[in-house]
Structure 1
Amino acid sequence: MNRRAMASDHPFCSKAARGAALLLAVAGLPLFAGCDRQQSTAVAAAQRPPLEGSTIGGEFALVDKNGKTVRYSDFAGKYRIVYFGYSFCPDACPLDVQKLMQGFTLFEKAEPKVAAQVQPIFISIDPERDTPAVVGQFAAAFSPRLLGLTGSPEAVAAAAKKFAAYYAKGETTPGGGYLMDHSRTAFLMDRDGKPLAILPIDQSPQAVAAEIARWTH
């Protein structure tokens, strides 16, 4: 048997692993033990949430459409989806939230019991214009399941910092208004409020639904 040929032809081995495998073969040990361990490690890593262990997320105190205080801890035991944006956004936010909630609706139809344990949340980064009523109307336009939250500038800033969400007042519009520059990320959080993954709102609703399904159960 040509052990050198077998080691070099194995499709999952790096150059270093092939060398190690050849030494193992000469020593009479299992030829592909090192490669098998490499594959097992790679598979295990792929099965872990991509944001596992990061410090994204944390307690906040904001208000809903009725002016009721809502805290992050109110959703303990539930998965959470968190997106920061603003209702006066002319393009990005409506597109992102539409894709997000279309994906969530697909997931809800496929897995209604699990979806009932997921709370989608939209947090305004423009509290100057996004009153509780305005942000509530904005959220309701996309789904009755989407919770719209706002608050004082200080409360919004504190929440955004916990989720590493960037925002700043941008250019002035011709009508005397203004735009907001902001990051565009939809975080999927676990039942303990810890980060799991970023949902692919830049792709299709089907991709969003698949990613939610992948990390919830």
Structure 2
Amino acid sequence: MQRLVRALVLILILGLAGLWGVAWFGRQEGEPIGDAFLRQVASLTGGEAPVPVSAGGMQLPQGLTLGGAWSAVDQDGRPVTQANFDDTLMVAYFGYSFCPDVCPTELGSIAAAMDKLSEAEQARVTPAFFTVDPERDDPAQMKLYVTNFHPRMVGLTGSVTQVAETARRFRVFYSKVNRPEMSEYLMDHSSFIYLIGRDGKVRTLLRPQSSPEAIAEAVRGQLARR
């Protein structure tokens, strides 16, 4: 029995060593060896390689699916669904236009990342801002807000039910916060950036406060796989 275990361990070690070797010689220019190794493992298992950690990407836990079909109203008052954006990679953020600090900072980073892409790359990307505050963020407010960031940015709102359903699909946390010293309420919400593929499913998450360089790198990584 011990000989069998040792043989299996030896085979595993040799197999991993072989993959590292393939990854070393087959890595792309500037690609970290660890990312190349994960790409080789993904190709053998039939899975998709995660966005490189160096790009700020967070690999979703195995079996976890975020996103899917959703419906909303865009900043021009038109009903839209996930299918309207299937020809582009969506870089999405969930927040609200009355947000005092976090939302404009994150949207500014997304806009700066867009400017780092070539015109051809930008044409394949839709930066999107989903509101979690439909009571105040009607289409007119969303249009006024998103035009401050990038000409390609889309503002998405809808009914309270639509917003809640979309947030549920993407597992976005949000909650209204009323403070006695303030005349207007705030919205407490999660702050990830979502890279969404053709089927409306999340390809990867980007951490809050990701730099424009990291966002642009992650976007290019996903565009290369489309």
Normalised to the residue count of structure 2, the TM-score between the two structures is 0.75
Indicate the residue corresponding to 1:86 in structure 2.
Answer: 96
Deviation at 1:170, TM superposition (A): 1.2
8 Å contact kept, 2:86–2:197: no
Indicate the residue corresponding to 2:126 in structure 1.
Answer: 119
C-alpha distance in 2, partners of 1:187/1:150? 17
Aligned residue type for 1:44 = Q
Q: CA RMSD in A?
A: 2.7
8 Å contact kept, 1:85–1:122: yes
Q: Taking every aligned residue pair, what percent have the same amino acid on both sides?
A: 34
Distance 1:183 1:160, change over 3 A: same
C-alpha distance in 2, partners of 1:43/1:127? 41
C-alpha distance in 2, partners of 1:127/1:74? 21
Of the candidates 53, 65, 87, which is equivalent to residue 77 of structure 1? Answer: 87
C-alpha distance in 2, partners of 1:18/1:104? 52
What is the number of equivalent residue pairs in this alignment? 191
Deviation at 1:17, TM superposition (A): 8.8
Of the candidates 166, 170, 195, which is equivalent to residue 173 of structure 2? Answer: 166
C-alpha distance in 2, partners of 1:54/1:45? 19
Unaligned residue ranges in structure 2 (runs of 5+):
24-36, 43-47, 51-58
Unaligned residue ranges in structure 1 (runs of 5+):
1-15, 25-31
Q: Residues 135-154 of structure 1: matches in 2 within 5 Å? A: 135-154=142-161
Task: Render the CA deviation track for 1:143-166: whole Å, top value 9, x for unaligned.
Answer: 111100111111100111111111
C-alpha distance in 2, partners of 1:187/1:159? 13
Deviation at 1:175, TM superposition (A): 4.0
Is 2:49 aligned against 1:48? Answer: yes
Indicate the residue corresponding to 2:53 in structure 1.
Answer: none
Deviation at 1:65, TM superposition (A): 2.0
C-alpha distance in 2, partners of 1:62/1:150? 6
Aligned residue type for 2:144 = Q
Is 2:195 aligned against 1:195? Answer: no
Task: Render the CA deviation track for 1:168-206: whole Å, top value 9, x for unaligned.
Answer: 101326341111010101110123322211134513211
